[in-house]
Amino acid sequence: MKYCTKCGAELYDESMMCPKCGCLTADYKARSSKRDEMSLAIKIFMIIGCVVSGLGFLIPLAWTIPMTVIIYRRLENREPIGLGFKICTVLFCSQIAGILLLCMDTVA
């Protein structure tokens, strides 16, 4: 059993929010900051992927830039990203960013 840091109410171990005062628990904050770090890493690798593919002309920029923009916005708004989209990211944009996106579901 753990307790709310704000009002001291008893919380279930897996609870993310205090049922009494509604404040977020330390667990939730730790998880969301881990998610934010991962989001940042994904954005960086997506941009690197664009630059690399642009330089190599292996993959048209017309494909990688819109994908990066879409993923960037979804991460900002914390919207879900489809599995197909994640796989396309691995294949066409950035392997590292795509793999991080695939792993993110296990964190969130």
In the complex, the smallest distance separating the C-beta of residue 95 from Zn ion, rounded to whole angstroms, is: 43
- Measured CA to CA, the distance from residue 45 to residue 2 in angstroms comes to 38
Q: Which 19-78 residues touch Zn ion, going by CB under 5 A?
A: 20-21
Interface with Zn ion: number of residues (CB under 5 A)? 7
Alpha-carbon distance values, 102 to 7, 38, 48, 79, 86 (Å): 37, 11, 18, 14, 6
User: With binding defined as CB under 5 A, does residue 4 bind Zn ion?
Assistant: yes
Residue 6 Cβ, how far from Zn ion at the closest point, in Å? 4
Do the Cβ atoms of 89 and 101 come closer than 8 Å? yes
- Residue 7 touches Zn ion, criterion: CB under 5 A: yes
Identify which range of 14-22, 27-35, 45-53, 58-66 contacts Zn ion by CB under 5 A.
14-22
Query: Around Cβ 98, how many Cβ atoms within 10 Å?
Result: 23
Q: Establish if 2 lies at the interface with Zn ion (CB under 5 A).
A: no
